[in-house]
Amino acid sequence: MLLLAIETSCDETAAAIVRDGREIISSVISSQVAIHAAYGGVVPEIASRKHLESLAPVVSQALKDGGVGMEDLEGVAVTRGPGLSGALLVGFSAAKAIAVALKIPFIGVHHIEGHLFAPFLEHTVDFPFLALVVSGGHTQLYHVEGFGHYTTLGRTVDDAAGEAYDKCAKIMGMPYPGGILIDRMAQSGNPDAIRLPRPLLRDGTLNFSFSGLKTAVLQQTMKNPVSIPGQAADDLCASFQEAVCHVLAAKTEAAILQTGAARLVVAGGVACNSGLRRRMADLCKKLGVELSIPTPSLCGDNAAMLAVPGDYYLSHGHVSPLSLDVTATWDMDIIKESIT
């Protein structure tokens, strides 16, 4: 099945052409990051308007890059939620319009389901597997038994890991989104320089908490202001990265031991993080677990990842009705009921 996939849940306007939910024919991502950077975060109203401007050219580019005509498309997969309602509506309405015009089915997909299956665009992962999704809006551990069959084992009780990265970067005076900048500066810093808290490390649950870490970084910078570039800033970045990765790895290890998982998927924008990739590789080697982390270009928001579950659902007879609406919040555990 040749699918057009569309993603507009936050600040990336993306479209992709994917064959059989596995082979990327083309993938185009137009980022709004530079526009939102001036405001220190994503401004929902601006995001919607920018998606409206960019979506048609992005879809045209994906078709052109793939050498695909509209008439070749057999279905449309689009992010239905979670995300910014206005932003979601732009991609969702376009997907419906394309589906109606071409008389092909469309399917609304959970954004995190896309992240979860991004590794499938490079190689297949057998079910069941454990998944750690770490992005700007999510930090969750899932037990994945198949498409649509997810059990949440743990989640953040406050900030997501990516949010914590971005907030700490902002405290240190870096532009939005600062996750990648902290990662870069951490390479030259000492991870043991500043002792930062490891929230919920030994609370006996698989939940996460990152807001205390952000407060600790704020207190630290008030006590000892850092200038960028500088060794003190690099040390703070390295210490912060060490604290985040320590907690993520410890909870993932606990989840692996608890579930007896033989396979681990790490996905979402923060899965680009060099420290996290290293730690997860070490952990999986130690436990004899097969690790799948998408190539960095497939970790962040993109449309191709949506085609993996999209293709599965459409080829198994699940088609979204044209009356379906977007949803700003959507629990992964209930997808099972909504697709049957």
Residues at the site binding Zn ion, with contacts judged by CB under 5 A: 135, 301
d(CA 303, CA 165): 24
Q: Which is nearer to ligand KG4, 87 or 130 (CB)?
A: 87
Closest approach of ligand KG4 to the CB of residue 90, in Å: 16
Closest approach of ligand KG4 to the CB of residue 23, in Å: 22
d(CA 201, CA 244): 11
Q: Which is nearer to Zn ion, 113 or 301 (CB)?
A: 301
Q: Binding partner of residue 119 among Zn ion, ligand KG4, none, CB under 5 to 8 Å per kind?
A: none
Is residue 225 reached through a cis peptide bond, with omega within 30 degrees of 0 on the bond before it?
no
Q: Which is nearer to ligand KG4, 104 or 335 (CB)?
A: 335
d(CA 111, CA 329): 11
Q: Binding partner of residue 180 among Zn ion, ligand KG4, none, CB under 5 to 8 Å per kind?
A: ligand KG4
Q: Binding partner of residue 8 among ligand KG4, Zn ion, none, CB under 5 to 8 Å per kind?
A: none
Closest approach of Zn ion to the CB of residue 336, in Å: 21
Q: Which is nearer to ligand KG4, 59 or 299 (CB)?
A: 299
Q: Binding partner of residue 86 among Zn ion, ligand KG4, none, CB under 5 to 8 Å per kind?
A: none
Rounded to 5°, angle at Cα 33 from 32 and 38: 110
Q: Which is nearer to Zn ion, 66 or 137 (CB)?
A: 137
3-class DSSP state for residue 112?
Answer: helix
d(CA 86, CA 90): 7
Cβ-proximal residues to 110 (8 Å cutoff; 6+ apart), any chain: 79, 80, 81, 82, 309, 330, 332, 335
- What is the residue-wise DSSP string for 191-254? TTSS----TTTTSSSS-B--HHHHHHHHHHHHHS---SSSHHHHHHHHHHHHHHHHHHHHHHHH
DSSP state of 156: B
Interface ranges with ligand KG4 (CB under 6 A): 10, 135-137, 162, 165-166, 177, 179-180, 183, 268-270, 272-273, 300-301
The residue whose Cβ lies closest to ligand KG4 is 269
Closest approach of ligand KG4 to the CB of residue 183, in Å: 4
Q: Which is nearer to Zn ion, 212 or 296 (CB)?
A: 296
